[in-house]
Structure 1
Amino acid sequence: MQLTQALTRAVQTRHGHLATIYNGRQRTWREVGERVPRLAAGLRGLGLKPGERLAVLALNSDNYIELLFAAAWANLVLVPLNTRWAVPENVYSLRDAGCAGLLVDDAFAAQVPDLLAGHAMQHVVHMGDAPTPAGLHAYEALIAQSAPMADECGRFDDLYGIFYTGGTTGHPKGVMLSHTNFIVSSINWIATLHFSDQTVYMHSAGLFHLAGTSPAVALTLAGGTHVCLPKFDAVLAFEAIQTHRVNYVLFVPTMVNMLLNHPDFSRYDLSSVRYCEYGASPMPDAVLAAAIEKLPTWEFIQGYGMTETAALTVSLPWRFHFDGDHGPAKRAAAGRAAFGVDVKIVDPEGRELPRGTVGEIAVRGAQVMLGYWNKPEATAAAIRNGWMHTGDGAWMDEDGFIYIVDRVKDMIISGGENIYSKEVENAVHAHPAVRECAVIGVPDEKWGEAVLAIVVLKDGQQATAQAIIDHCHTLIANYKCPRKVEFRDALPLSGAGKILKNVLREPYWQGRTRAVH
């Protein structure tokens, strides 16, 4: 298995059909198939060597889709940087991965000096549509000036990409994903989520994220059409669906809610959409009911997964969203195991628990990551006896459906984005007035969960909630920053001196059937 097989098949079977649509620009699979080997040759011509890490910091575009395959074609390891992270977070990723090259678009070209401060890197490529800034190589020039090279793609368990996620230690972790991880995940998308060569898919999730990259590879393998939005925006989504007759979308529940409540919702024809895959957090019943009523042509499929499992692991088909033979309870499930994936609920020692008993979700299969980049101890803690321990608390019913009830790991999901409490706590603690801090997730009707920082100030020090929030914005991504700050005289501690977050969380989640939202 190798990632470029997806592209070569699309070129072979769909050469005259539309491959990408972006900002008024359209390319066929034949054109993409001609450009990718030239881009790969151009990247290698800059001096990049097989196995070296190549970072990209850019919004979604047709060029980004090409890069996913050109990096593999040149046998480079792709490192997508998070477009929502603050500069210091992406600087850490660049240095941790030892990146030898970087591509940026118009939105991030101005960040290059800060990203590369103290980092010896000569190979920076501008992949935007504006004029190329001085000192950067031009993306289109690399393609135009380079003869196509032979496919030198790695295969099987060779490393394809390093995808950075938040970390419980306060530093991002680089998830190492192989060619097999992506191809198996792609086949699962086709089998489970109904991708085909007739699929016109709208990319609204960032391509730096597995919710963006995984369907991008799968759709290419299927030979469908990529409609690229730079990033999620309700009006852009409405216009793209109506104009290009998009028939497949992926949204987190927060996005669905934004669409339904947008003042221009009724102005657009959204009836071309057949499937909507949603995930990253549970869909509130009220939002799902409104979506089913207002979007009658859409079939909703829930997906559950994580970066460490190359995205899709569990899915809930459309028919289980309704009362029927199995009753209404299935709608509350995350779903059941995807094809070729083993899923079980285990106790802290890894022993499988009886059906109906709450434990931790563990996953095994060809989609499980190679490990964390340069973090063997974290890898060993996550993958035990071949099973990836997800950190999500859940139970399984007699039919194999999984119901998530809590999180074992200290993580918050807000607007579909994973936020590790430790990262936020590190930022809050860096404020000179803060003595102690605990960060928890609390229910929020718009975002699912909101970040709450509970702070104890140093004796004699003063700070406002807004001052602490503003301070955090200089260190971490905006979506990670606390939305609220509460001040306390002291935090509850265990006998061993550990902050009791369960005690802090309890009042906010009281009366709910699950401690996640």
Structure 2
Amino acid sequence: MQLTQALTRAVQTRHAHTATIYQNRKRSWKQVGERVPRLAAGLRGLGLKRGDRLAVLALNSDNYIELFFAAAWADLVLVPLNTRWAVPENVYTLRDAECSALMVDDAFAAQVPQLLAGHPMPQVVHMGDGATPVGLRSYEALVADSKPMADECGSGDELCGIYYTGGTTGHPKGVMLSHANFTAASINWIATLHFDEDTVYMHSAGLFHLAGASPAFALTMAGGTHVCLPKFDAMLAFEAIQEHRINYCLFVPTMINMMLNHPDFDRYDLTSVRYCEYGASPMPDAVLEAAIRKLPSWVFIQGYGMTETAALTVSLPWKYHFDGEHGKAKRQAAGRAAYGVDVKIVDADGQEVPRGTPGEIAVRGAQVMLGYWKKPEATAAVLRNGWMHTGDGAFMDEDGFVYIVDRVKDMIISGGENIYSREVENAVHAHPAVRECAVIGVPDEKWGEAVMAVVSLKDGRTATPAEIIEHCRTLIAGYKCPRHVEFRDALPLSGAGKIMKNVLREPYWEGKKRSVN
């Protein structure tokens, strides 16, 4: 199992087909196949050795796609840095991973002095399209001036990439993923999510994240076409779909919500899209209903996974989004185990619980990470007896469908009752004025914790806290309803497009010894 096998097959079987589209530039698989071995040789020429860590801080581009495979070709370990993180967070990542070189594009070249302050790095490569800054090496020069090298890609359980995740408490953790992890995940993606050689896929999720990288590897294996947006923007997405007749997208629910509520939504022809995979955070039912109504030609497929499992582990096919043999309830599920993945729901002791009983999702299979970089204790805490313990609360029904109820740590306990924020969020989202919301627990002297809804409203709409609370009372039990409602213009988002509940909680738990009450 080698990451580069996906590329060599695409070049062999689809050499004249368009491989990448970025802005006004197109490259065929033949061109990419010629450039990657040269870039790999250029990276080795910088003095990098097999197993060295190569960091990249850049927006999505065709060069980023090439770099994935060039790093593997040279048997380097790629360390993608989060484009949404502050400089100190990425400085920590560079030092923690002991990176030997750094790639940056036009958007981040100015950060290089800060990134390397007190930690000089001998080689920094500029992979943007603008002029190469003084002191940096040119990406295109590495390609042009290097002779192609033989493929020296690692294989199997050898380390391929370190993807940093978390950071909500303490320092982020580097997830070590192998060639076998990525290969298994790619085959799974093709089988479960219907990638093929005719797929024209739009990269809107950041390639530093597994929601961006995992489909990039799978699409290359399938020999489809990568259309790269620098980052998600509703207008850029509309324009790209219409211009390139994109037929496959992946969006975080917040992205879909932004598109549906965009004032120019109806100006664009979006009918070329056949499949849309959504995931990374729960999709409020009101948003899903609006998406199905406004985008009737789109087939929606939910995917659930995490960085530690190389992304996809559970999937909900399109047919379960509607009334049918099992009724509408299946639409509330994250789905069933994907191919080659074992999933079970366990209690605190790791024992499987009866169907319908909430517990923690545990996953086993070829996609599960090697462990956390230089964190054996953190690794041992989640990898137990061959199973990855996800920290996500869920239950499984008799048909094997998994229903996410919350992050285990996000469950709110008020007056002794367990309250799952997702259920409350679905109720708040159903209010016609609500655009986005996040439900958190805040300290309460009487109840221990109280439910708070942090809400952003649709443009031109108004609502009061009392109206939101009363609306919820018509949908869920009174003890689950928000006791407090706070309005904001926008909610803080992570690099993966998830609402950062930890940021919302911080002011309320400041000075507390623990974040439960």
TM-score (norm 2): 0.83
Distance 1:190 1:106, change over 3 A: same
Aligned counterparts, 1:79-478, within 5 A: 79-167=79-167, 169-409=169-409, 443=425, 445=429, 446-449=435-438
Q: Distance in 1 between matches of 2:437 and 2:247?
A: 26
Q: Give the letter aligned to residue 449 of structure 1.
A: A
Q: Give a deviation string over 1:45-75, Cα, whole Å, max 9, x none.
A: 0101110000000000000000000000000
Q: CA deviation at 1:410?
A: 5.5
1:508 is aligned to none
Distance 1:488 1:144, change over 3 A: closer
Q: Distance in 2 between matches of 1:288 and 1:44?
A: 47
Q: CA deviation at 1:342?
A: 0.2
Q: Distance in 2 between matches of 1:130 and 1:40?
A: 22
Contact 1:451 1:482 in 2 (8 A): no
Q: Distance in 2 between matches of 1:298 and 1:183?
A: 28
Residue of structure 2 aligned with 1:482, choices 500, 503, 506: 503
Q: CA deviation at 1:120?
A: 2.6
Contact 1:53 1:79 in 2 (8 A): yes
Contact 1:85 1:477 in 2 (8 A): no
Q: Give the letter aligned to residue 346 of structure 2.
A: V
Aligned counterparts, 1:6-17, within 5 A: 6-17=6-17
Q: Give a deviation string over 1:65-121, Cα, whole Å, max 9, x none.
A: 000000000000000000000000000000000000000000000000000011131
Contact 2:205 2:496 in 1 (8 A): no
Contact 2:103 2:127 in 1 (8 A): yes
Q: Give the letter aligned to residue 375 of structure 1.
A: K
Contact 2:77 2:161 in 1 (8 A): yes
Unaligned runs of 5+ in 1: 413-439, 456-468, 492-497, 504-517
Q: Distance in 1 between matches of 2:34 and 2:254?
A: 38
Q: Give a deviation string over 1:172-216, Cα, whole Å, max 9, x none.
A: 000000000001000011000000000000000000000000000
Q: CA deviation at 1:409?
A: 3.5
Q: Give a deviation string over 1:461-505, Cα, whole Å, max 9, x none.
A: xxxxxxxx9xxx9xx9997573587568985xxxxxx6362x5xx
Q: Distance in 2 between matches of 1:5 and 1:488?
A: 49
Distance 1:88 1:326, change over 3 A: same
Q: Distance in 1 between matches of 2:80 and 2:410?
A: 24
Aligned residues: 452
Contact 2:280 2:496 in 1 (8 A): no
Please tell me the root mean square deviation across aligned C-alpha atoms, in Å.
2.5
Which stretch shifts more, 280-289 or 333-342?
Answer: 280-289
Q: Distance in 2 between matches of 1:148 and 1:24?
A: 26
Identity of aligned residues (%): 76
Q: Distance in 1 between matches of 2:198 and 2:298?
A: 16
Distance 1:490 1:242, change over 3 A: closer
Contact 1:42 1:143 in 2 (8 A): yes
Q: Secondary structure at the match of 2:164?
A: strand
Q: CA deviation at 1:311?
A: 0.1
Q: Secondary structure at the match of 1:195?
A: coil
Q: Secondary structure at the match of 1:392?
A: strand
Contact 1:452 1:485 in 2 (8 A): no
Which stretch shifts more, 384-393 or 276-285?
Answer: 276-285
Q: Secondary structure at the match of 1:482?
A: helix
Contact 1:205 1:250 in 2 (8 A): yes
Q: Give the letter aligned to residue 514 of structure 2.
A: I
Q: Distance in 1 between matches of 2:382 and 2:140?
A: 41
Aligned counterparts, 1:40-55, within 5 A: 40-55=40-55
Contact 2:3 2:182 in 1 (8 A): yes
Q: Give the letter aligned to residue 361 of structure 2.
A: I
Q: Distance in 2 between matches of 1:345 and 1:385?
A: 14
TM-score (norm 1): 0.83
